[in-house]
Amino acid sequence: MTTASDKHVKTLNDLISTTLDSALGYEEAAKAAAKPTFKTLFDDRAKARRQLAGDLQAEVRKLGGKPEDDGSMMGAAHRMFLNLKHTVTGTDQSVIAEVESGESHIKAKFDDALATEALPESARLVMKRVNEAINADHDKMITVKHALQAPAEH
């Protein structure tokens, strides 16, 4: 029989897996980026995502569960696509477009979980804080993407 706590652990572990996928995606983006500013930006985001995943893992432990410590197969496939796309196009713009796509995915997962899951208050607060960081990163990547798409001023 599945308890409410088991359901909460499953929800949080799904979000942990997605957050770890995101960290790994940022690490791949840092390797693929040409400009040092993008490499630094992506490395910083990867570290921040690992810290956010750690916060979620702590909540799973509080609920008596075993926290996820690995990304998903889907995340691995997305990173492979990022590598392939960068090999073919070789631009920071293509890397940032893929990062922004990944940000949209993780943002949607957290938004959905917050809207539908009745989690314990401490887990909900951590999830909301993580979601705010993800939304900020999502907005940042959209801004960077649009800045790269803008015609250069002469």
Q: How far apart are CA 10 and CA 16, in angstroms?
A: 10
pLDDT of residue 60: 95
pLDDT value of residue 36: 94
Q: Smallest Cα–Cα separation from 75: which of 130, 20, 135?
A: 20
Query: Domains in the chain and their CATH numbers?
Result: 4-149 (1.20.1260.10)
Residue 117 pLDDT class (50, 70, 90 cuts): confident
pLDDT at 28 over 80: yes
Residues across the chain: 154
Region 127-153: mean pLDDT is 87
Q: What is the pLDDT of residues 33-87, one digit of tens each?
A: 889 999 999 999 999 999 999 999 999 999 999 998 875 555 555 555 555 455 4
